[in-house]
Chain A
Amino acid sequence: NAGVTQTPKFQVLKTGQSMTLQCAQDMNHNSMYWYRQDPGMGLRLIYYSASEGTTDKGEVPNGYNVSRLNKREFSLRLESAAPSQTSVYFCASRMGHLVAEAFFGQGTRLTVV
């Protein structure tokens, strides 16, 4: 049972490059989320998709875009990477947006130089 799978696990980008972080869940969950984790800041919500076909901004959306490709997959795109986007990115899923329990992927460690 894979749960939530994120790719890649590590990535180094140059300033200005673009990339897409992929996330897939096999739990038939309706809601999916992207967080970033920075030292001393905890987990901050970037974007979420409460259900297939919808996406909404979270706490720190600037510089990111998302796509809910289907019920299983939710991708995060950095169009023009900046050093401030150096972070660990986590994808999570929940059965529904009003359900508290979240299941997280293993994370993508991104460095922008």
Chain B
Amino acid sequence: GQQLNQSPQSMFIQEGEDVSMNCTSSSIFNTWLWYKQDPGEGPVLLIALYKAGELTSNGRLTAQFGITRKDSFLNISASIPSDVGIYFCAGQRDDKIIFGKGTRLHILP
């Protein structure tokens, strides 16, 4: 079946550093979404991207929909302790949504 390859699986960074993660697929998607899951909670939608090439920001978060429609990346600038969690990408085509396996972000004091 369709798969999303999300990388890296986990990251350990210092507070204040910038973070970059991405998702790639062999399939084309119409919409890319990025979610964050805090420990013990459900995923929360951060950013939705609807057009190839689209670059969207939400505070310190920036995400882009790849030109080929097969990839997307998420950047977090100047990380803070509350950025800790698991970040999921998701791609949608027609009625199917496929989730990546997540990037677990750890922030060292």
Q: Which residues of A contact B (CB under 8 A)?
A: 4, 40-43, 50, 59, 90, 92, 97-98, 100-107
Contacts and interface: CB of A to CB of B under 8 A. Distances in A.
Contact of A42 (B1, B45, B101): B101
Contact of B42 (A4, A40, A50): A4
Given A43-B88, A100-B31, A100-B33, A90 B101 contact: no
17 contacts: A4-B42, A41-B101, A42-B88, A42-B99, A42-B102, A50-B95, A59-B1, A98-B95, A100-B30, A101-B33, A102-B33, A102-B90, A103-B45, A104-B42, A106-B41, A107-B41, A107-B42
A105 B44 CA distance: 9
Contacts, number: 45
A100 B41 contact: no
Contacts of B31: 100
Given A100-B48, A101-B33, A101-B48, A90 B42 contact: yes
B40 to A, nearest CB: 8
Contact of B94 (A98, A102, A105, A106): A98
B53 to A, nearest CB: 17
Contact of A101 (B45, B94, B99): B45
Contacts of B95: 50, 97-98
Given A4-B42, A90-B43, A107-B41, A102 B102 contact: no
